[in-house]
Structures are given as C-alpha cells and as structure tokens.
Structure 1
Amino acid sequence: MTDSLLELLAPHLETPRADDTTSQYLNHLSTLSIQDLQSTELQSLAQSSHSTLLSLQALSNRSHRSFITSADNLSSLRTSIPQLTREAQQLRDAIPKLDEAAVGFSTKYSKITDNPALERRKKATQLARNVDRLSDILELPSLLSTAVSAASANSGAGASSTTYSSALDLHAHIKRLQTLYPDSPLIQDVASQAEDAMKEMTSNLIAGLRAQNLRLAAGMRTVGWLRRVAPDLELLQGDGSSGTGEGALGAIFLICRLAHLVSTLEALDPLRELADQETQRRVDAKQKSESWSDGQQTDRYLKRYIEIFREQSFAIVSLYKNIFATEQSESTDSSQKAKDPLQNRPSALATFPMHLVQLLTDTMRAYLPNVRDRSSRESLLTQLLYCAASLGRLGGDFGMILTELSGEEEMEYEWEEVMRKHRALAGRLEQLTSRVAAH
C-alpha cells in the first residue's frame, strides 16, 4: 500500500524517497478517510509546519553562533587536514635529529665537572624533583610546635598524652634525618627549631609537676615524657652509675612539689599576718613585764599549717617513692665501692625530709610561743606527733627533732606529757589491732 501511494504521488514530489519518515506518513494516510484527508489532515499539517518553524527559529536564535562556527570550521577542514598531515610528517622526521643532538650534548658535557651552568641546572632539576619532600621537611618544626602548644593547652590527660606522643614521634623523625644528613644546612636548621620546641615542651612538663593534686599516674607519665624529651637529665649526677637511676629528675620532681607546697602554705598569709601581729604584741608585753594570754589567731594558723604540711609532705614522699623506685642491683661490686665511696650517690630524697622538717620547725619555733592556752598547745603538739608518725611510715620520722621546739620549762613538761599520752594511745591501738587480727 505504501509503495503504491508513493508511485502515485511521485509525479507531484520533487525528490521522492522511500525513507522511514515517508513510509510512516503514507501508512498514516492510508488509515484516514476521504473526509479527514480533505479537512483535518490539512489543518494538522499546517499546525505541525508552524510548530516546526517556531522550533527552528528558537534554535537558530539560541545557537546561531555555534552554527556559524561549525560552518566556518567545516569550510576550512579541507585545508586543515592536509596541513596537519604535513606538520606531523615534519615532526616525525625531526625527532631522530633531536635525539642525536641530545645524545651528542650529553656525551660532550657529561665528563665536564667544573661547568657552573651545568651544576646550577643539576641542582635546579634535583630541587624540582624533591620539592614535595623538602616542603614536608620544612613543615616539621611548625607541626612540632603546634603539637607542643596543643598539649600544653589541653587539660585532659588523654588528649595531652596523644599530643605529647605525636610531638615525641616528630622529634624522633627529625633526629633520624639529622643522623642521615649530618652536613645538610637545611636539616641542621630544622633540628635547631625542633630543639627549641622540645625545650618548650620540657618547660611545660616541669611546670606540670607543680600542678595541684598531682596523681601517681600523671606523675609517672610526666616523668616518663621527661626521660624521653631530656635524657641528659638522668646523667647530670655524673656517669650515670647512681643506684637510683633517677639522675636529676628526682631533684627536679622534689623541687617542683616543694614549690607547690610553699605556694599552698602562702595561701595562709592572711592568718600568718594575724599571727605576726600577736607575736609583736607578745614581745611588747614581755618588754613591759606584762602577762600574755592570747594566741587564738596563731593557734588557727598553726593548725591549718600543720594540716597542709602533713598532707602535702606525705604525698610528696609517697609519689617520689612510687615513681623513682630503686633499681640498684644486689650484685654490686663491693670492692669497687671501697675504691670509690662516692660512686653510688644517694638519691635526692635522702636530704629532702630534713629540709621539710626544717621548714616546719622554723615556723613552729617562731609562732608556738604565742599560744598560751595549755589545751590548745597540747592539741598542736599532738598534731605534730601525728604528722611525724605519718611521714615516719615512709622513713622520715622526725618526732625526736620536735623536742627542740620547747624553749621554756613549762613547755618541756607539756611536751613530755603529750609524748607519754601519744605512746600510750599508740600502744592501745596496737593491742586492739592484734586482738582483731587474732579473732
């Protein structure tokens, strides 16, 4: 049917073609009636033609530049392709000559070592190849400083531990680079900046030892970091042969904790000023041969002073003993000790309790005479005995030194009575403990 209609209409068409569009439209015509062909089909064709015209106009308005460019390129395509072919042939013919020239240049100048231009070119080429590595190395000091600053700013133990560990890893990497390239000015500069950052980290760690309420875990962690950051501190006492294995770290720890103790006691300055006023009034009364019966402010000050001293001194010595455990071997050569009696020096803790006791006795000797009430004075002396017994559990009992505090005959009898009561109470407690243990 389609072929028949096409043959029928062929005399009226300019270019009769049997394509898919023509076939589809002729099939569509065969389904229409005579009335539809005369009426609705004409309108449908007119409407489709008008819609197609509008679409072509919109497309031309929107993409006319692309059409013009495509037309120009299409018109020049006939000349561009032969020109591209000729240039590609010329390039292919020139590559062997270029290769021969490069080989000749390399052969001619490879044996020349004193050519400044070639040396600069080699250095520039090597720098271009390693620019990423150099950039990473140059960023190491800033990363290390950032890690140290972040660790000092973070108060949480976990965050500080992570950042300090990262800083130590970065410093170890820089030390490895310094070992591999000892003559490199760049590595030396980076190592110098890293040492400045590690000094800051060491200062932060030492300041951390002065923190309030320092716990055992935090103290051990801080001392461990100090051993990694500043290993020379363990060798400051000589050749490292001391039996404690602490070097100068033990002394630094005790100094920091002593500074914290002193700062805590300085918080009692308002009470101490009141006690100083009572001391002045007592001295004036003694010069005028008048009786002195006051001392309440001094009693408050001394009670609080002894309480803080007892708590902090026990904590200091206890932390020290747990952190710096003695590592001396039992198989020490005794003959070598006899040759050099100063070989194994005592630890920093050997004289530290005496310094603490001196600090306490000086304060008591200065202010205890202000307290004239017998019961208050006995309470203070008992409190001192408890303090001595508390520190005595760690090997620092100073009970006998307290007998030197009594400067008057009346106070000597009070001290003897307090000692007698304290020993009687200790004996009863020991008996009670043994009975409980037996049952």
Structure 2
Amino acid sequence: MADHLYELLSPHLPSTETNISRDPTTIQYLNRLPTLSLQALQTTEPQSLTQSAYSTLLSLQALSNRSHKSFIASADSLSNLHASIPNLTRQAQELRDVIPNLDKEAVRFSSKYSRAADNATLEQRKKVMRLSRNVDRISDILELPTLLATAVSSAAASSGNAGTSFSTTYSAALDLYAHIKRLQTLYPDSPLVKDVAAQAEDAMKEMTSNLITTLRSQNLRLAAAMRTVGWLRRVAPELDALHGDGGASMGGGALGALFLVCRLANLVSTLEALDPLRELADQEKQRRTRSLDQKSGTGSWASGHQTEKYLKRYIEIFREQSFAIVSLYKNIFTPDQSESDTAIQGLRGIDARIKTPSQADRKLDPFQCLPPALATFPTHLVQLLTDTLQTYLPNIQDKTARESLLTQVLYCAASLGRLGGDFSMILTELDETDDDETGGLAYEWEEVMRKHRALAGRLEQLTGANPTNPTGSSKGTLQATSLAAA
C-alpha cells in the first residue's frame, strides 16, 4: 500500500527526496495515510504536519545552540578523514616494521641483565646502589683524618696550659686513631680504609713529635710526664718494645731511653743558658794559662770570681735537674727488682760495670742484652759534671771557694745517692795538678769528704745520745746532711 501511494505522490515530490522511500519514517507515514478519512486529510492532517515541522525546527535549533561545537569538530574531522586514514595506515606499517627490532632489544636486555649467572654489570650496579645508600657513612669515614689532625693540632696548641683540655684532646685523638685501626682490621682490603689509615699514621707521627717535644719542656711534672709517656705507649708501642730474648722489661724499652734523652736535652739547654758566665770563665782560664806560660805568678790575673759564679750555678742546676730526671724515670717506668739491682751496680763507684751474661744467656743472645738506659745514663751525667770541674775549677784560687764548690758537689752526689747513683768516689780519680796555684783536686776532694764525714759523725753522736730518739743512728746522718746542705 505504501508503495502505491509513493508512486502516486512521487511526481509531486522534489527530485532530492526521491530516495526517501526506503526511509522507515516515510514508510510508516504512508502506511498511516490510508487509515485517515478524507475530511481528516483535508482539515487536521495539514495542521498536524505543520505543528510537527515547527516542533522539529525548534528541537533542531536548540540542539544546534547546545552542540554546535561538537558539530563543527565532527565536520572538521569528517573533512580530514580522507587524509587521516592513509596516515594511520602508514604508522601501523611502521609499527609493524619496528616490532622485530624491539623484540631483539628486549632479548638482548634480558640476556645482559640475567640473574642466572654472575653478571658483572649487575654487580657494578649493586655496588653503585650500595654506595648511594652508604654515602653518609663513607663521608663520616673520609672526615676521620681531618678530625684526627684537628685534634692533634688543638692539643699541640694547648699543650702549654696545664688544664684538662690538653689531656682530653689527646685522648679524643687516640680514640679516633683506635677507631681507624679497628676499621682497618675489619676491612683490610678496602682502598678507602687504607688511604684513611695512611693519613691517620701521618697525624700520629705529628702527635708523637709533639709528645716528644713535651718531654723536652721545662719544669716537667710527674703527672704530666706520666700522661705523656702513657700516650706515647699508645701512639708508638714500638718504642716500648721488649729487649732481650727473655722478654723481661728493660727499663721501659726504647721509650725509657727516649725519656732520658729528652730530659738530658732539656738539661743541656738549661745549662747553655749559663753561656754568658761560661764565657767569662773562659776568659779567666785564658788569663790563667797565659800567666802560667809567662811564669808571672798568681797576681797577674783575677782569682776566678766569675768562674766561681759559673760553677756554683752550674752545680745547682745539675743537682736539681739530675735528681728530677732519675726520680721521674723511676716513678714512671718502675723497673723490676733485677733491673734495679743492675742499675744500682752501674751507678755506684767508678769501677761499676754491667753484669756479664751467663753462658746460657750467651747462647740465647750472642750479642748480649743491652743494659738498661738508667744504668748508663747517670754515668754520662757525671761525665758532664767532671769535665766541667776539670776545665774550670783550676781557675779558682781561693781555697775556701774551692772547698765550698766541692762541698756542693758532695751534696749533689748525696742527692743522686738517694736514688742509687752516688758518684762521690769518682772525683778521687780526677787528674791531679801539681802546680802551686791549684794544688791536687783529688786531695781537696778527699779533704772535703773527710770533713763531711767527721761532721756527720759528730751530729750522729749528738742525736744518738738523746734517749727519746730510738732511731738516732739513721736519722743522725740525714740530719747531718740536711744541716750541711743548709
């Protein structure tokens, strides 16, 4: 029915609407027309069509106003569709061509970073990642040599002060060094730790030099000396090495000898401060020598007043410093009984010698053990004193002044004798001078010793006669010596 109606109406339709017969809406409307009456077709249907067209127009206007941008974009896309499709085809072809290369690179990456076997690349990446995680710790380790050098420099700068900061700074430096050595023990193959340890060794060498300089300082007290020696034992344990095959301590090892050498250097520098007096004494010696050569008698030159001042001050310094050195050594190193006996035998008398090793010791050590440093050190001290006395004492013509100086030497010998180093018998073998000016030095020394013993004996009798003094014999000698020294 709809087809027949369309054939009837097609002559009256515009040429552009000839293909609307296949439209479902058109077919539905043509099927509806036969159901209407003629009167409805003439009256109500045109009005209904007009109303529907107007309603449709309003809907299209509202839709255009609301979605005109989408319509424009759709129109643009539709206009570019003929160019986009070839472009998409070309890109799809390119993607298909690169897929084999991508697969090849994926296989190569998988084989390169495979965990099936030891992979050098992965190990290197692990090291880099581990380094990144531990960068703070490594930075702390790298700062250790700088901190150590700063601590050593600060301690050296404050070494002149007697406060506790000096001790604390050195202790902190030693703790840092012990930590570095611990790291070196834990990681012996690490180049970083080896480099840090090498820098720490340089700082410890500087610290050792500073400590040795401290041992040479003036007015070194027992507490400071013990602290310094203790630090040296920690910094340079090789200085405290054992001597001999028996493993027994021999006077603090090389550290004890180093201590004595440093204190001897201080003594020599203190005595060198007397150079102005020594130069005057040398001038008197030259005048005395010229006087003896010219046989002009004793009145042509001074009687040695400047030499007396020099020797008096020299003996005072020698007495004080020698007693302090030996006393400090004994208090710091505390040798055992066998060493003490050996040291005392080496100190007493001019014929004292070091014990000869037994045959068993010779077999163990064919070169024999070195003697303790304290056994030979006082001999060197006494040699300094005797050389000075032999050189300058003949300048003094006044017998009373000579006896006063020799008495002062006797008290010096008694002072060292309290530590086992009495050298009172050494001066008896000095070279005697038979000229009328000076007389025999050994004879004068014997006279001074005889007078001193007589005075000590009388004082001992006085103190021994007191019934309230049960130990008068031992105290009498001490009182005699103290009285004579006063």
Shorter-chain TM-score above 0.5: yes
Aligned pair 1:262/2:287, yes or no? no
- Alignment counterpart, residue 444 of structure 2, candidates 414, 436, 439: 414
Superposition pairs for residues 14-33 of structure 1, below 5 Å? none
The 8 Å contact of residues 314 and 391 in structure 1, kept in 2 or not, is answered as yes
Q: Give the secondary structure class of the aligned counterpart of 1:248.
A: helix
Partners of 2:337 and 2:405 lie apart in 1 by: 40
Q: Give the secondary structure class of the aligned counterpart of 2:207.
A: helix
Q: How far off is 1:337 after superposition?
A: 4.7
Q: Give the secondary structure class of the aligned counterpart of 1:109.
A: coil
Sequence identity percentage: 69
1:174-230 per-position Cα deviation (integer Å, ceiling 9, x unaligned): 111101110000000000000011111111111111111111111111111111111
The 8 Å contact of residues 234 and 245 in structure 1, kept in 2 or not, is answered as no
Partners of 1:343 and 1:285 lie apart in 2 by: 51
Aligned pair 1:207/2:245, yes or no? no
The 8 Å contact of residues 241 and 344 in structure 1, kept in 2 or not, is answered as no
CA change 1:183–1:217 in 2 (3 A) is: same
CA change 1:107–1:266 in 2 (3 A) is: closer
Opposite residue 407 of structure 2, the aligned amino acid is T
Q: Which runs of 5+ in 2 are unaligned?
A: 1-105, 340-357, 473-486
- Alignment counterpart, residue 128 of structure 2, candidates 124, 127, 131: 124
1:300-327 per-position Cα deviation (integer Å, ceiling 9, x unaligned): 0000000100010011111111111124
Q: Give the secondary structure class of the aligned counterpart of 2:420.
A: coil
Residue aligning to 1:390: 415
Residue aligning to 1:52: none
Residue aligning to 2:384: 359
Opposite residue 226 of structure 1, the aligned amino acid is L
Q: How far off is 1:296 after superposition?
A: 0.5
Aligned pair 1:160/2:166, yes or no? yes
Partners of 2:130 and 2:252 lie apart in 1 by: 48
Residue aligning to 2:469: 437
Superposition pairs for residues 23-422 of structure 1, below 5 Å? 109-116=114-121, 118-154=122-158, 155-235=161-241, 237-238=243-244, 241-244=247-250, 246-293=252-299, 294-327=303-336, 337=361, 339-340=363-364, 345-405=370-430, 407-409=432-434, 410-411=439-440, 412-422=442-452
Instruction: Tell me the C-alpha RMSD between the 2 structures.
Output: 2.6
CA change 1:431–1:225 in 2 (3 A) is: farther
Opposite residue 391 of structure 1, the aligned amino acid is L
The 8 Å contact of residues 209 and 257 in structure 1, kept in 2 or not, is answered as yes
Aligned pair 1:423/2:444, yes or no? no
Partners of 1:423 and 1:386 lie apart in 2 by: 12
The 8 Å contact of residues 113 and 119 in structure 2, kept in 1 or not, is answered as no
Partners of 2:309 and 2:215 lie apart in 1 by: 30
The 8 Å contact of residues 217 and 266 in structure 2, kept in 1 or not, is answered as yes
Partners of 1:196 and 1:270 lie apart in 2 by: 41
The 8 Å contact of residues 251 and 373 in structure 2, kept in 1 or not, is answered as no
Q: TM-score if structure 1 supplies the norm length?
A: 0.71
Residue aligning to 2:86: none
The 8 Å contact of residues 361 and 402 in structure 1, kept in 2 or not, is answered as yes
The 8 Å contact of residues 243 and 369 in structure 2, kept in 1 or not, is answered as no
Q: How far off is 1:419 after superposition?
A: 1.8
Which is bigger in relative contact order (C-alpha 8 A, separation at least 6)?
A: 1
Q: Give the secondary structure class of the aligned counterpart of 2:253.
A: coil
Q: Which stretch of the first structure deviates more once superposed, 366-375 or 400-409?
A: 400-409
Larger Rg: 2
CA change 1:169–1:329 in 2 (3 A) is: farther
Opposite residue 334 of structure 2, the aligned amino acid is A
Q: Which stretch of the first structure deviates more once superposed, 145-154 or 272-281?
A: 145-154
Opposite residue 447 of structure 2, the aligned amino acid is E
Partners of 1:437 and 1:278 lie apart in 2 by: 50
Q: Which runs of 5+ in 1 are unaligned?
A: 1-100
